Amino acid sequence: MITVEGLRKRYGEVEAVSGIDFSVGPGEVFGLVGPNGAGKTSTLKMLSGLVEPSEGSVSVDGMDPENPELRRRLGFLPEESPLYDEMTPRSYLEFFADVYDVPEDVASERIESTLDRLELDVRDRPVGDFSKGMKRKVAIGRSLINDPAVLIYDEPASGLDPITTNTVIEFTRELASREKTIVFSAHDLYHVESVCDEVAIMHDGRIAAQGTLESIREQFGTVEYRIYADVKVDGMQPAGDLFETSVESMAGVDRIRKQVNAMDGQILDIRTDESSLEDLFLEVTARAGTA
């Protein structure tokens, strides 16, 4: 469980985070999105105890982030995560298991099962020879070696190829299903949309919109209904063997249905097009920028 209230961070005269609030429960995935400089990384570092807040409060798994005991219950993955290049994945994870006092037999099983799930088959070659995607998998394995209750990931799939990215996203879903509390930031909004239960869109250190994607769509998005019929009524255009039009409300759908019925025709398909997270992101940040 993570609870954030009135969180602020100042660097000199610059306020990177400006009084934000949110909470994330076990089994939930919370996404932070926003342009560069929005305050995402500063927020994650405060949650992880790496940066001290200027104001406000943070509770992570019932603890203050500065409590040393939290290190045993937290997994943190920074955007840039240097590894010990001369170590192999297995020796690297064994080293961190020892740091966290994980029993040897437990660590061995956990290392193998995690690397199996991350589809990292090369385990006895120095990580300095690895691709960025393979290194990222090792870093994710490190974040899990202590079986943390809370995971904080900064751009977990940044710069990865589509196959590796999909592995990371699927693995994130599995971790949530095991009642982990997960917060992560991402530039690729598809990743956020595909895995997050709730999203906060940050702009200039503030949360400009927050909630489920459905609730944010309700407030900032649009819905369009594309109607396909076998007869042409006013406003319809040819679409192959059918005719097509778009309306923005169910009242509009009912109006088209009545017109089609009056011509002894049929509506053969109605498709709903909703704003994507990218559309919402652009709309929210545009409004925030003019506020």
Residue 124 belongs to domain with CATH number: 3.40.50.300
Residue 291 in this model has a pLDDT that exceeds 70: no
Q: Considering the domain boundaries, does residue 115 fall inside one?
A: yes
Are 155 and 239 within one domain?
Answer: no
Predicted TM-score (pTM) of this structure: 0.79
Q: Which pairing describes strands 242-247 and 223-229: parallel, antiparallel, or unpaired? A: antiparallel
**Among the listed ranges 144-153, 171-180, 208-217, 237-246, which one has the minimum average pLDDT value?**
208-217
Using CA atoms in the order 250, 255, 257, 262, what is the torsion angle rounded to 10 degrees? 170
N-term to C-term CA, the chain:
32
Nearest to 165 by CA among 194, 205, 204, 144: 194
Query: What is the spatial distance between Cα 74 and Cα 93, in angstroms, rounded to a whole number?
Result: 16
Q: Domain count of the chain?
A: 2
Q: Is 29 helix (H, G, I), strand (E, B) or coil?
A: strand
Confidence of residue 82 (pLDDT cuts 50, 70, 90): confident
Q: For residue 206, what is the enclosing H or E element?
A: strand 206-211
Q: Are residues 135 and 15 in the same domain?
A: yes
pLDDT of residue 290: 64
119 lies in a domain? Answer: yes
